[in-house]
Amino acid sequence: MADLDFIQTSMQQMAALFEGLSREETKQLLAALERSGAAVYNSLAEEEQDADAKAALLSAAGREIENAEVLELLAANSEQ
């Protein structure tokens, strides 16, 4: 089971990354974090032996990329 204090502290640290950012900077940072999440899912999938779990991890990675692409599109459109 996960350490709840560790999780809470990690969530606070992540939230702090966004403090003081503009809306556009928030989109850009979140897109980068989504891509980082995809990389983590892909790394976990590489080591996964169970085919169903591996497929689920790769699917999750794909969703993270889709999220990043949405944010990047929104950020690009707002710059115009």
The pLDDT of residue 64: 98
- Asked, for residue 75, whether it belongs to a domain, the answer is yes
3-state secondary structure 2-13: CCHHHHHHHHHH
- Asked, for residue 69, whether it belongs to a domain, the answer is yes
The pLDDT of residue 78: 79
Question: Helices (H) and strands (E) in the chain — how many of each?
Answer: 3, 0
- Asked, for residue 1, whether it belongs to a domain, the answer is no
CA distances from 71 to 3, 46, 50, 53, 79 (A): 31, 27, 32, 27, 12
- Asked, for residue 6, whether it belongs to a domain, the answer is no
Q: Which domain holds residue 42?
A: 20-79
Give the chain's domain count: 1
- Asked, for residue 39, whether it belongs to a domain, the answer is yes
* pTM, rounded to two decimals: 0.87
The pLDDT of residue 38: 98
> Per residue of the chain (80 residues), what is the pLDDT tens digit?
679 999 999 999 999 999 999 999 999 999 999 999 999 999 999 999 999 999 999 999 999 999 999 999 998 887 76
- Asked, for residue 37, whether it belongs to a domain, the answer is yes
Please state at what angle helix 23-47 crosses helix 4-18, rounded to 10 degrees. 140
